[in-house]
Amino acid sequence: MSTPSLFPQLEPPGRQKLAPSLARLARRGIHIGTSSWKYPGWIGQIYTAERYFTHGRFSQKKFDDGCLAEYAEVFPIVCGDFSFYQFPSGDYWRKLFAGAPSRLLFAFKVPEMITVKTWPGHARYGPRAGRENEAFLDVGLLQREFLLPLEPYRERVAALIFEFGAFPGKAYATPTDFLDDLGTFLGNLPEGWRYSVEVRNPEYLGPGYFGCLRRRNVAHIFNAWTRMPPLETQIKIPGAWTADFTVTRALLRQGRSYEQAVKLFEPYSHVQDENPQAREAIRAVVRKSLAAGQGAFVFVNNRLEGNAPGTIEGIIEGLSPDD
């Protein structure tokens, strides 16, 4: 990272294009943002380099600690993927919410401790790898360790995300077996939060699953993922709009793994593989939500096309002024 100029840097061009349009949509209940935010590859596009220099050099720590505030100058919402991996402490939540203006909304993944049935065999899971998770769908644990610490910030939490990885056949013999557990779990959740569910088993996308969510006003997350039907297919499935709000997560091109996307796209500084179908599907979500007068929370990942802000810019450009 080069030494900053002696002259003030102009506002990054991505901000000039995005901020007014995103603010206009947010006023109408359509909140579009990204999955996470700590990407130095966005410097010069969303972030201003000079803000993060210390003693003439770029400071990664200063960037990590302060870039959320600048993010909020452009985007109305952000998805916190970090919470999938642990129960954040009360101190962590206080620091996070203090680091951005109150207008910035958040969606958070519920920790995998709640949504993983059997721990993956990855080395990072240590002695748990391959074992059954005794805390799977534990409502009490969720309340004590996640919802209670988040309670002071409830008004800034747009949605909570239950991400279920693809279950093997040995976990659930049939979709109905999963839905029995899911329905009981959702029925015991405390009121007052917007809940959403992301599944990665395509065979679950049927009337039983959608009905289970609809009865509890829980949103099915339209998710672009390796082995899931593409967004343009999911949004047309009968009954797929299950709540009075919707959540969309544009994560990966169908058929491309997470690891492949990381290798291909890092450091996420520009769009490298445009996905016109996914972009148009997101526009369709926006239009349908506006027509229904319902809120929509849309999150775009760098690993969809290579650069989430660029993808969002392309989506916005394809909307008419009336959208």
The region, left, alpha or beta by phi > 0 then psi within -120 to 50, assigned to residue 306 is: left
The amino acid present at 34, given as its one-letter code, is T
Say if domain 13-317 classifies as CATH 3.50.50.60: no
pLDDT by residue for the chain (323 residues), tens only, comes to 544 444 345 678 778 889 999 999 999 999 999 999 999 999 999 999 999 999 989 999 999 999 999 999 999 999 999 999 999 999 999 999 999 999 999 999 999 999 999 998 888 899 998 899 999 999 999 999 999 999 999 999 999 999 999 999 999 999 999 999 999 999 999 999 999 999 999 999 999 999 999 999 999 999 999 999 999 999 999 999 999 999 999 999 999 999 999 999 999 999 999 999 999 999 999 999 999 999 999 999 999 999 999 999 999 999 987 77
Sign of dihedral through CA atoms 184, 187, 192, 196?
A: positive
Tokens representing residue 315 in the block: 């989506």
- Is the CB of residue 269 less than 8 Å from the CB of residue 45? yes
- Is the CB of residue 160 less than 8 Å from the CB of residue 193? yes
Q: Please tell me the predicted confidence (pLDDT) of residue 9.
A: 53
HSE-up of 85 (CA within 13 Å, CB side)? 5
Among residues 188, 288, 301, 202, the alpha carbon closest in space to that of 245 is found at 288
Tokens representing residue 60 in the block: 């990664």
* Cβ partners under 8 Å of residue 233, min gap 6: none
Q: What residue has token string 């990204």?
A: 34
- List residues bridging with 197 in a β-sheet: 162, 220
Tokens representing residue 231 in the block: 């967004």
- Is the CB of residue 299 less than 8 Å from the CB of residue 34? yes
Ordered by start, the domain boundaries in the chain are 13-317
User: Whole-angstrom Cα distance, residue 23 to residue 230?
Assistant: 27
State the DSSP H helix or E strand holding residue 168, giving kind and residue range, or none if neither.
Answer: none
- Written as one string, the DSSP assignment of 118-157 is B--S-GGGGGGTTSB-TTTT-HHHHIIIIIHHHGGGGGGE
Q: Please tell me the predicted confidence (pLDDT) of residue 10.
A: 60
- Residue-wise over 222-249: b if at least 16 C-beta within 10 A, else e? bbbbbebbbbbbbbeeeebbbbebbbbb
- List residues bridging with 162 in a β-sheet: 197
Among residues 258, 243, 317, the alpha carbon closest in space to that of 282 is found at 317
In terms of C-beta density within 10 A (0-12 exposed, 13-18 middle, 19 or more buried), how is residue 42 classed? Answer: buried
- pTM value > 0.85: yes
User: Whole-angstrom Cα distance, residue 104 to residue 158?
Assistant: 10
